[in-house]
Structure 1
Amino acid sequence: MPTNLPKEYYVKEAELKNAKTIEEKIKILEELISITPKHKGTENLIANLRKRIAKLREEKERKKSKKAYRVKEFEKVGDFIVSIVGIEKSGKTTLLNKLTNSNYTTTRTISPQYGILNYKGAKIQVTEVPYYCLEKYSYILKSSDLIIFLFSKTQDIEKQNELKNLVNNLNKKIIQIDDFSNIEKIKEDIWNELDLIEVFVKKPLKKEIEFNIGIKKDSCIKDLMEKINLKTEPRFIKIFRNDKILIVGKNYKLMDKDIVEFHL
């Protein structure tokens, strides 16, 4: 350690030992460099201070990256994403549990939680986005196909209107709910707002349906094949629609309640 350092240097050095955050440490180290006389005898000291700053900045970036990963750890696991928003104690967790048969506790939610609503063959990911973390998890709302906004006349109207304006600015489809006693109606409303149709698939010469699937309106046979990951080219395709049997191609448009047979 050079002996000709100013007294201010040692004062700052003491502050450095008591610094708690990375930002504070970097600031003090930069001040130490600033007040250190620049000559040959202090070259190693200044170089060492700069190395310490570089290491602290690397540590800061690592922590920032880990934090970003935690924020982005939510992933899409359903065919469609429906987000539930509302102010505190608006019943978001209760609705999530009812829609998806989940068992989340109804205490204050601090991170997104989700369940799967299996409805008419569609796998709908219903996600509760915490009110106090809306900005942090705004990317979930932006990637949602539909947003359910919970509104209550008995709660803070001004706060609810502020939240509603924020949600409206996302230009997403929105359902406003003030009563979720009729859960089946809410499921049907979700289905309709997502613009889905139900299509059935059966094997040739079999009477029973193999499975049903929820798919977007205006989808064609080709979309259905991609949805069910059918890679084998069918020789021909049959659709049972009402009392009619149709032989169709891959670009044929599907309708609600169609029964499709792939002849491979």
Structure 2
Amino acid sequence: MATLTENEDWFLIQFLQPLNYHIDKGVFMPANLPPQYFEAESRYRSAKTISQKINALEEMLTIMPKHKGTDRLHGELRRKLAKFRNELKQKKKKAAKRASSYSIDREGAGQVVLVGPPNVGKSQIINIATNASPEVAEYPFTTRRPTPGMLNFENIQIQLVDTPPLSPDFMEPWLLDIIRRGDLIMLVVDLSEDPLTQAEETITLLQNFKIRLTPNESIFREGITYKKAIMVGNKQDLPKSREHFQILKELLGEQLPMVAISAKDGHNLDELKIRLYQGLNILRVYTKAPGKNPDLNTPFILEKGSTVQDLAGYIHKDFLQKLKYARVWSPRGLKGLMVQRDYALQEGDIVELHT
């Protein structure tokens, strides 16, 4: 079927549509279009985005009466709608591809995302704490892409992710998605340069995007993402940093747990590791076969509150289906205690599953 030429389209808009006529194969056909149709068409003509055009076209098709006088117009609108829907689909695919190129696959016992204003030393922390080598410089906005690294803590690894700085002047569009997906947020501030203002501005900036840092568990409620977080004061080796850290604790200590470190000389890095492990809300348990010693070098990582049943299902579905009971040894003094499937496991438990 032929489509409207530019001249026909212009003539239709200027002269025939106000008279409720439409061109069909060179013949003037009465369209009997209601006023609401022309209102929707006006919105279509003034639409700035593909989504707005799609919405207006859908409304026009819904309002349009179906008879011979509107057959050709109906076909034209359907083709335009299909074209715009395809354009929107391709646009979303390209956006998803760009976003996925910056996504970081979770590894280890948990993922900790470092955030903060420019030049607070996030990359320096990654450098000294992990095997990663992000670019480190004295000028701001050195980090342009997320950089993961693995932090060794006793017999497990925790993934740290360095990110570009948070700033009201500029922020990478994909950064918020990485923050939302992280297990724990590490808010880093520079203790030598007004850390209170840095912390408050970063917290407020995230709140503007409906992300709130909390000492409690991460949840999504009423359109707001609450992310469990810890605040890390870096550059403790510089003058006035200890004084600034005390002020920070007095004013914001109830909002977030805090630790002061020096990424330059590694001071208090062990304390940071402990805090991160505690903040991930996980526990380590070990298994053993009857009559054999446990492998204490390779723990199973579970969420706090997990049970013997959860451990069995994590190992293999057959264990879960056939599990009868378990025996538990623990640092708390348990020595082969017989427990049921719903027994709540604790840090360091050694579990012997019986089927």
Q: TM-score, normalised by structure 2?
A: 0.53
SS in structure 1 of the partner of residue 311 of structure 2? helix
**What is the distance in 2 between the residues matched to 1:97 and 1:202?**
37
Code of the aligned partner of 2:301: G
Q: Distance in 2 between matches of 1:213 and 1:119?
A: 14
Q: How far apart, in 1, do the equivalents of 2:302 and 2:154 lie?
A: 10
The aligned counterpart of 1:6 is none
Q: 1:76 to 1:144 in 2, by over 3 A?
A: same
- Which consecutive residues of structure 1, in runs of 5 or more, have no partner in the other structure? 3-22, 24-50
Q: State the distance in 1 between where 2:128 and 2:313 align.
A: 31
Task: Using CA pairs under 8 Å that are at least 6 residues apart, name the structure with larger relative contact order, 1 or 2.
Answer: 1
Do structure 1's residue 84 and structure 2's residue 114 form an aligned pair?
yes
Equivalent of 1:240, from 329, 337, 350? 329
* Aligned position for 2:278: 192
Aligned equivalent of 1:161, options 188, 191, 200: 200
159-168 vs 78-87, which deviates more? 159-168
CA distance in 2, matches of 1:105, 1:177: 20
How is 1:37-76 mapped onto 2 (pairs within 5 angstroms)? 62=90, 65-73=93-101, 74-76=103-105
Deviations 1:21-74 (A, max 9, x none): xx9xxxxxxxxxxxxxxxxxxxxxxxxxxx9xx989967863553233221341
Q: How many positions carry a matched residue from both structures?
A: 224
Q: AA paired with 1:176?
A: M
Letter in 1 for 2:279: E
Closer/same/farther in 2, CA of residues 105 and 217 from structure 1, 3 Å limit: same
Q: 1:200 to 1:83 in 2, by over 3 A?
A: same
Q: 1:212 to 1:84 in 2, by over 3 A?
A: same
Following superposition, the deviation at residue 118 of structure 1 comes to: 4.8
Is residue 138 from structure 1 mapped to residue 173 from structure 2 by the alignment?
Answer: no
Shift of 1:173: 1.7
**Alpha-carbon offset, residue 145 of structure 1:** 2.1
C-alpha distance after superposition, 1:174-222 (max 9, x if no partner) = 2111124322111100111222222122222112426313322211112
Question: Which position in structure 1 is the counterpart of 2:302?
Answer: 215
1:255 matched to 2:341: no
TM-score (norm 1): 0.69
- SS of structure 1 residue aligned to 2:318: coil
Q: Work out whether residues 134 and 143 of structure 2, in 8 Å CA contact, stay in contact via their aligned partners in 1.
A: no
Taking the aligned partners of 1:262 and 1:238, their CA distance within structure 2 comes to 7
- Cα contact 2:326–2:351 (8 A) shared by 1: yes
Q: Which amino acid aligns with 1:224?
A: L
What secondary structure does 2:134 align onto? coil
Secondary structure at 2:299 match in 1:
strand
Unaligned runs of 5+ in 2: 1-5, 7-47, 49-78, 213-225, 234-260
Give the Cα–Cα distance (whole angstroms) in 2 for the partners of residues 160 and 135 of structure 1.
21
Which residue of the partner structure matches residue 124 of structure 1?
158
Shift in alpha-carbon separation, 1:97–1:72, aligned structure 2, 3 A: same
Do the aligned residues in 2 keep the contact of 1:121 with 1:198 (CA within 8 Å)? no
Partner of 2:227: 172
Q: Would the aligned equivalents of 1:198 and 1:215 in 2 still touch at CA under 8 Å?
A: yes
Q: Which residue type is aligned with residue 142 of structure 1? A: R
Shift of 1:110: 1.0
Percent of aligned pairs sharing the same letter: 27
Alpha-carbon distance in structure 2 between the residues aligned to 1:236 and 1:160: 49
Secondary structure of the corresponding residue to residue 133 of structure 1:
coil
Match for 2:293: what amino acid? K
CA distance in 1, matches of 2:194, 2:281: 32
Q: Which amino acid aligns with 1:221?
A: V
Q: CA RMSD in A?
A: 3.6
1:149 matched to 2:219? The reply is no
How far apart in 2 are the matches of 1:228 and 1:129?
Answer: 34
Separation in 1, partners of 2:136, 2:182? 23
